[in-house]
Amino acid sequence: MSRAPRIVIVGGVAGGASAAARARRLSEEAEIILLERGPQVSFANCGLPYHLGGVIPERSSLLVQTPERLRARFALDVRVRSEVTAIDPGRRSLNVKNLETGESYQQSYDALVLSPGAAPIRPPLPGIDDPRVFTLRNLEDMDGILAALPSEGQGRVLIVGAGYIGLELAESFRHRGLEVCLLERLPHVLGVADADMVAPLQAELRRNGVDLRLGISATAFGGCGDQLLVRLEGGESLSCDLAILCVGVRPETRLAQEAGLALGSTGGILVDDQMRTSDPHIFAVGDAIEVRDFVSEAPALIPLAGPANRQGRIAAEVILGRDSRYKGTQGTAVCKVFNLTFAMTGMTEAALQRRGMSFRKIYIYPPQHATYYPGAQPMSLKLLFEPDLGRILGAQAVGPEGVDKRIDVLAVAQRAGLTVLDLEDLELCYAPPFGSAKDPINMAGFVAANVLRGDVDLWEPEELSSLAGSQLLLDVRSPAENANGSIPEATCIPVDTLRARLAELPRDKEILVFCQVGLRGYLAARILAQHGYRVRNLSGGYRRYQQWQATHIIR
């Protein structure tokens, strides 16, 4: 371009606002126009549930940037309450409607960045348009919910969908003293995670007074005096003051479709690794686009703020001549549920199975810091990796503290191409209040490396339903631990007496060993293997068995 480019950005928040700010930092000459349909161009939508719960008391705290501050600091032409109704790619022009005046005008561009986001799904159910049935996407939605909430400590809120937002809202409304009923059509909360890793979240929700109902959906909404009546599958009805739908989001692609831009197989706007759409002058970022999954390299929809920010930055850099490229989305995320934290990165076991990808998995339950320092509490960590090379495929963790730190380390290791063997060698912070000399990341590496090197074979709780006469369950914990609960039909021989009692074990049977969390079982497996026994250990031990059992019993 001989003159400075005119860059028009449609949509603010994470992707659009990042693109605008980055473009200005790279070029003082570029004309940058930011069009936003709503009244605010940059706000913390991830903070909306916490303002609803009163944890973030001031609404103004959610305003990341105001139009006035963006104009002053970045010399941007910010136009709020401006809706783009059509794109003419041939003329490189937009039709813009001023929602304040109702007037429309044409706006030309040299480069266009689409950041329309994703809209909450409202299923076509009877009564879904009742004004007491809400979704939560922006500040206006939040204001409407606040206005409809009953007085502190009174009333009932129904939340449909137990994803990240549904879980955060459940905690927030309980924080306000309201009764909360949380419906989830799946058999477990947080459908993006594996069932065995979210059982603690389900127990935590119920422990804090949430009426959690799994495997059930709402089928209709209707009036009942001043109460909203919600009909459930099976015929039961619930009354509440308001309901909030948290059943997922759908990429906003209408503008792109009508402009003839290609969509991907997932329904998101198709872009290359430079965020360019099928039109070379139009870019797209954020929740509306189809991304490449970092692990499987398959197309995916992963609506997260961090990736949207990076995509906006990349689009601006490419428009202004830099060779920047997006390297895929891992899906790294974290969620607070009362006193527990859940975090994950990469693919889950369920996702790997759906794609037919080979994997191995291990479970550990380490404390978040040294056990001799007060307040040590265990976390649950699941690590998935390739069976041959040990490439990290995914990880999930849940616990009271230290979970986000460990998943962040694993996310970095995954993006850097490290294997589980490399985790053994990571040098991480250690002082008694913060960790252990062998950090949980190192421990996960040790356990996974043992599997990879063939030092131990593992068995899974699912095998218990098909135990053969040629197998024997061996509990190597203490008699007291065994008496407090064990896997049915298991023989108990503590690991410290195992060498002296080898004669009690049949050599013609495979020994399936377990302990409390896996370590003593591993030691027993090494002893038995070196004495000629066929043996496998249960990764995660009896704790893992209980966790697995909970996913089959708790509903």
The DSSP bridge partners found for residue 237 are: 231
Please identify which of the residues 46, 240, 246, 335 carries the catalytic annotation: 46
Query: Alpha-carbon distance 57 to 169, whole Å?
Result: 15
Closest to 375 in 3D by CA, of 367, 383, 384: 367
302-305 long-range contacts (CB < 8 A, ≥24 apart) are 302/329, 302/331, 303/118, 303/249, 303/251, 304/329, 304/331, 304/332, 304/333, 305/14, 305/45, 305/46
Cβ-contact 146, 256 below 8 angstroms = no
Cβ-contact 269, 253 below 8 angstroms = yes
Query: Alpha-carbon distance 486 to 376, whole Å?
Result: 25
Cβ-contact 357, 387 below 8 angstroms = no
CA distances from residue 543 to 196, 255, 466 in whole angstroms, order as listed: 11, 51, 21
Query: Alpha-carbon distance 240 to 380, whole Å?
Result: 35
The side-by-side arrangement of strands in the sheet containing 77-79 is 77-79, 31-35, 6-10, 111-114, 282-284
Closest to 32 in 3D by CA, of 18, 20, 17, 16: 20
Other Cβ atoms closer than 10 A to 186: 15
Cβ-contact 428, 442 below 8 angstroms = yes
The DSSP bridge partners found for residue 57 are: none
Cβ-contact 122, 150 below 8 angstroms = no
Q: Give me 150's structure tokens.
A: 């009953």
CA distances from residue 285 to 14, 303, 311, 399, 437 in whole angstroms, order as listed: 9, 10, 6, 33, 42
The DSSP bridge partners found for residue 282 are: 112
Does residue 429 carry a catalytic annotation? no
Task: With H, G, I as helix, E, B as strand and everything else as coil, classify residue 66.
Answer: coil
341 CB-near residues (< 8 Å, 6+ apart): 334, 335, 398, 399, 400, 401, 403, 404
Cβ-contact 305, 296 below 8 angstroms = no
* Residues assigned a catalytic role: 46
